[in-house]
């Protein structure tokens, strides 16, 4: 069911986020996340001499390379379009994520390593969808069993996985 019909309006801004999980030939897994921002109107920008309607304001990428324990063994970032010329200088700092485990506490630990001027708000924002796609990618690699089990690390992480709810009960083999 879609959202309700909106009021009359004009589109001003579009953000697109795409995240993909890949199995590599060497047994590692790559998670690639890309974010783009574009506006429907032109505006001034000192560093780029203005940004035209439809031109990308942001075009940013992250690649997390994970081992089978979901530990980051490498991280790369690229910033193809930014509003300021100095923005891409922060991309190498994402290497600091190496050694982190994608799981409980990952986003907090990543934010600490890339806090404030050591990071980029938009690249940090991409880590959330990258982490969830990492879980989906590894679930696909490992198989889903009967499709009813709920992995222990997911219990109580959302409404559907409430430990007292019907989805978890079915996973335990209890009546729905």
Residue 147 predicted with pLDDT over 70:
no
Confidence band of 151 (pLDDT split at 50, 70, 90) = confident
- Cβ atoms of residues 76 and 63 within 8 Å: yes
Confidence band of 175 (pLDDT split at 50, 70, 90) = low
Residue (of 55, 88, 92) closest to 75 by Cα position: 92
Question: Between residues 111 and 1, which one has the greater pLDDT?
Answer: 111
- Cβ atoms of residues 37 and 56 within 8 Å: yes
pLDDT of residue 145: 56
Q: What are 84's two structure tokens?
A: 């300021």
Residue 142 predicted with pLDDT over 80:
no
pLDDT of residue 146: 57
Mean pLDDT for the chain?
Answer: 92
Rounded CA-CA distance 130/126 in Å is: 6
Confidence band of 1 (pLDDT split at 50, 70, 90) = confident
What residues does each domain of the chain span?
13-143, 144-176
State pLDDT tens for residues 62-104.
999 999 999 999 999 999 999 999 999 999 999 999 999 999 8
The phi, psi pair for 38, rounded to 5°, reads: -150, 150
* Stretch 127-137: mean pLDDT: 96
pLDDT of residue 65: 98
How many other C-beta atoms are found inside a 10 Å radius of the C-beta of residue 65? 19
State pLDDT tens for residues 2-47.
999 999 999 999 999 999 999 999 999 999 999 999 999 999 999 9
pLDDT of residue 10: 97
* Stretch 123-129: mean pLDDT: 97
């Amino acid at each position: 069911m879609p959202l309700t019909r909106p009021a009359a309006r004009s589109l001003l801004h579009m953000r697109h986020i795409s995240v993909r999980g890949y199995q590599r030939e060497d047994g590692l897994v790559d998670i690639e996340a890309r974010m783009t921002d574009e506006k429907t109107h032109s505006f001034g920008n000192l560093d780029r001499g203005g940004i035209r309607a439809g031109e990308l304001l942001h075009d940013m990428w992250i690649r997390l390379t994970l081992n089978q324990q979901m530990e980051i063994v490498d991280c790369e970032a690229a910033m193809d379009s930014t509003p300021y010329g100095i923005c891409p200088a922060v991309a190498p700092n994402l290497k600091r994520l190496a050694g982190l485990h994608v799981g409980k506490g990952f986003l907090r630990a990543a934010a600490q390593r890339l806090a404030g001027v050591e990071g980029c708000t938009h690249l940090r924002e991409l880590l959330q969808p990258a982490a969830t796609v990492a879980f989906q990618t590894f679930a696909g690699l490992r198989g889903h069993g009967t499709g009813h089990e709920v992995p222990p690390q997911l219990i109580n992480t959302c409404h559907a996985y409430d430990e007292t709810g019907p989805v978890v009960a079915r996973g335990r083999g209890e009546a729905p």
